Structure 1
Amino acid sequence: MRNFKLALGAVIVAAGFASCKDEAKMTAEKHVDHYVVFVDSVNSLDAQERAANWAAIQAEYEMRTAEAEAALATLENEAKAQERITESKSKYEGVKTQAESEAKAKMEAEATPAPAGTGSLADAFFGPGVVVGNDMKFAWVNKDNILSVYQKFVDTFNANKDNYSRQDFDKIKAYYEALDTRKNTVEKEGLSGEDNRKIAALKLGFAPKFKWERMTAKSDENAKAKE
């Protein structure tokens, strides 16, 4: 009877070891899976979202990497897990290089103002990075800054009107119309009467000047095309 109890105890202990081993293996596999999924999720982010959260992304990546590499010692099929980790590392390094390049380019663009006639028209009229892509809603314009936005717009046009191409004038027209559309909303949000009058005066001077310059630019380009 005593021998039976000892044998039974050995079986229970062995089962306990096996259970712990299986649990450790499952945990290790999860760590590798989480690492792979995390890298794939970073790859799926758009450039702007990646740039805005890069410090947090890098910190979490380092933690996930440490967990995945520690898991290799527990896994029986270490070669397969190592292959998955290596592949994901390669993906991440590609994204990291791209993100660092984009961040560097952004810093250089912000540090060096574009000379007249070059760079983005949107940046010139509204400031670097204010207008993103084709967003023409101008939600950032409000009752407190709309007068200064119009003033910068008119001043920029007056300073560079001789350098714009026909295509530039078409873009400027689209920006101006989008700003006017936003003004209709801002007026309902508490735009002061004084600011409204100043904006009206700016528009009154800008409209005929823009029309003339745009018409002249088209005539000049047509003449050059005939030559």
Structure 2
Amino acid sequence: MKNLKVMLGAAVVAVALTSCKDEAKMTAEKNVDTYVVYVDSVNNLDAATKAKDWEAIQAGYEARLAEAEAALATLENEAKAKERIDDSKVKYDGVKAQAEAEAAKQKQTEAAASGNALADSLFGAGTVVGNDMTFAWVNKDNILSVYQNFYETFKTNKDSYSRQDLDKIKAWYEALDSRKNTVEKEGLTSSDNNKIAGLKLKFAPSFKWERMTAKSEENKDAKEKAN
């Protein structure tokens, strides 16, 4: 009787182990399938959606990849499962490259649009600053009004400028000052020159303060994200 109980007990344990093993195998297979399906789903998304939501997509990918790779230790046909995972990795790498390229392109477009809007506000609608920033359109007759508009626009909107905006404003302001040195030799009146000097005296400390505070806010945001 005692031996029978031992045999039955062993049989129950064996069944339980088999059941657990089968369940673990099913879970492992499901994790591999989930990973493969996820990559296929990402591949079917339109370019705009991938570019917009890429961080979330990448996070989801990494989680599913970790589960799929962990499943390999449980599966009997490990080579086949690994092949499926590797194939999906290659597919995802291609999708990722396209999404990152699209995101970079979109970012450049947005930056250009933002830069154009900023230039329009500081120098007048439709003004083409150009990468060389020569300000050839600025002359002795309009340079005072250019400085006035530049300063007044900055004073009005200074609290809304990002660090990137302030970097552009700094570069444009320095280029405008460089153009002023040329205009002075072309007949700029003493009266206009003095008024410009007054605007520069008001602009410099205000700009310095805004740039310092923007940098401080940027560092604060970076620390918060890191934590």
TM (norm. structure 2) is 0.50
TM (norm. structure 1) is 0.50
